[in-house]
Structure 1
Amino acid sequence: LSHFRHIHTHRYILILDIDEVIVPLQHNTYAELLDSIESSTDAHRISSLSFSNVFKFPAKLEDASRPEHMYMLKNAMRSQKTSDRRNYGKSMTNTATVATVFNHFALHRLTPKVSGTMYIPEKLGIKLHYKSTCPVEVHRECPELQEDTVRDHSLDRFADELERRVNRTLIELNLLQ
């Protein structure tokens, strides 16, 4: 439904769960990221731009400088291993080339000339997936995903502004003094 509501006002749609965020790593905004990708390919043929997944489980190391309500910023560690690009990725879907959308990618393209899913290099953007525990589908990999972790700096440059905006909203809702 959301695909059709925004088909004439937006170039792309992104369906995210509450525990996910796609972070541009070389650009400041999604618009800049999309412009960069489109400039290096035929934008009229793009169906979906898929971003690889990394898990963020409850951190062994928290950023103590962030308040409790900024969970995404406090959780300082992520799995070192990136999920296989066909698993757990999320896509920005081109509204001009796709007929139907699934939660993770485009289901039906408007014409055969439209490309399949384009997998975006991890250096351009990554999907952070906050989970309390390993998903059952990756149970064999759980020890590696939960123990082999690295410090995540992907949100650092957005952190102060994000915290300011969240706090402003919480104050407006009378949820923060």
Structure 2
Amino acid sequence: MRDSYHSGELHCQLTFANRTVSVPAQVQLIWERRWDPSNTGRLYDPVLVSCPLRSAARLPRSVALTPAPCGPADTLLPVDAAPLRRWQRTRRRRGFAVCVKGLDLPDDVSGRLVEWVEAQRLLGADAFIFYRFSTHERVTRVLRHYEAAGLATVVNVTLPGFQPNYAPDRRRLMRVSIWQKRRNELVHYNDCLYRSLYRYRFVVPVDVDELLVPLQYRTWPALLSHLEEVNPHLLHRFASLSVRHVYFFDNMTRTPDPSLPEHFHMLRHTERSANLSGRGVSSKSFVSTRGALTVFNHYALEPLYPYMQHEVRVVPRQALLHHYRASCPEELTVECRDNYYRHTVSDTSLQRYRDQLVRAVNDTMRQLGL
């Protein structure tokens, strides 16, 4: 991230086996100014810094950023070329990596997190990349369990610059400075994208209260195979495939299924708003790692190629984004009253996975001693 006081030119010092080369860096803002036009440069902005190479045949061992072409470097970052080399040999990548922005969870939601992870796995998730500020001890135990199993990467993060990292102050900032909060999140999502470039075909940026549920097919791979079969040029034209959003507020389900423990939150809550959020509002996406240059919470922010479009929308009969919240967001009070709460329906689309999900969650909880 950068602030308005340090926005001068940058140079990349690329260290090869026997020499160091300095080249001008390309700096691109990962943000849209129209989202908060009242900002006058008081906030830290996320940026993508690209270091051009003269040849793709030789990769540097490390890279440093400096304000002057050959100035002293404060930080030397090693270049991990192994995923690229592996992909060049095999031309194979796995399917889906789920990206989760900075977790700040002081309460024990370990059981719900296990249900969420196991549900994502049943749908088609191959891996998880979690960004973590601080979490309850039992939540941390869950994260470590999946990391030890080779299913998750947990990246401990802090806020950059002069933003607070004492947990109570950090949470207060996140509540009162929503535009800075959203900027901070984009660092995590774009780091996840670039970690996944040569490992996975798609990244799926979602929160731990969201589930992207296919309806006509059982899994994400089956849904994507169908979409690509119908339109073979789909991923050449679009950098992401976005799915419409729908709310499951806790009090919509008057009698949650008593046969399941409370940590089966999604299986127990089967009433939702009949009305979806507006087109393009709160949607989440399958983001193509070969089509996206940068990404934000909802879809590819900048496509890699000029002929590509940001997103194409998956029709609601094929998939929906379930959003499980305790109650209506404060900023949507009027819309919830007039729209989401007014018409509700029963949605049992998750019940297809009930037996498998209950077994998987119970097994994991038993292993963890929770």
What does residue 31 of structure 1 align with?
A: 221
Q: Is the 8 A contact 1:25 1:154 kept in 2?
A: yes
What does residue 32 of structure 2 align with?
A: none
- Decide whether aligned partners of structure 1 residues 61 and 152 sit closer, same or farther in structure 2, where only a CA change above 3 A counts: farther
- Give the CA deviation at 1:66: 2.3
Q: Show CA shifts across 1:16-50 (max 9, x none).
A: 10110000101111111111112222122221111
Identity %: 37
The reply to whether residue 135 of structure 1 matches residue 329 of structure 2 is yes
Length-normalised TM-score, structure 2: 0.46
The reply to whether residue 113 of structure 1 matches residue 307 of structure 2 is yes
- Give the CA deviation at 1:112: 1.5
What does residue 75 of structure 1 align with?
A: 269
Higher Rg: 2
Q: State how far apart, in whole Å, the 2-side matches of 1:61 and 1:113 are.
A: 50
SS class of match (2:241): strand
Amino acid at match of 1:57: F
Q: State how far apart, in whole Å, the 2-side matches of 1:121 and 1:14 are.
A: 18
Q: Is the 8 A contact 1:61 1:76 kept in 2?
A: no
SS class of match (2:280): coil
Q: Which has the higher contact order (CA 8 A, sep 6+)?
A: 1
Which residue of 35, 38, 56 maps to 2:248? 56
Q: Is the 8 A contact 1:61 1:77 kept in 2?
A: no
The reply to whether residue 151 of structure 1 matches residue 346 of structure 2 is yes
Which residue of 152, 155, 161 maps to 2:356? 161
What does residue 18 of structure 1 align with?
A: 208
Large movers: runs of 4+ above 3 Å: none
- Give the CA deviation at 1:154: 1.4
Within a 5 Å distance, the mapping from 1:62-101 to structure 2 comes to 62-101=256-295
Q: Is the 8 A contact 2:247 2:273 kept in 1?
A: yes
What does residue 40 of structure 1 align with?
A: 230
Q: Show CA shifts across 1:138-173 (max 9, x none).
A: 221212312421101110101211111111110000
SS class of match (2:301): strand
> What number of residue pairs does the alignment pair up?
175
1 or 2, which has the higher helix percentage?
Answer: 2
Q: Show CA shifts across 1:60-99 (max 9, x none).
A: 2322232221011001101111001211110110100110
Q: State how far apart, in whole Å, the 1-side matches of 2:345 and 2:257 are.
A: 14
Which is worse superposed, 33-42 or 166-175? Answer: 33-42
Which is worse superposed, 78-87 or 60-69? Answer: 60-69
Structure 1 gap segments, 5+ residues each = none
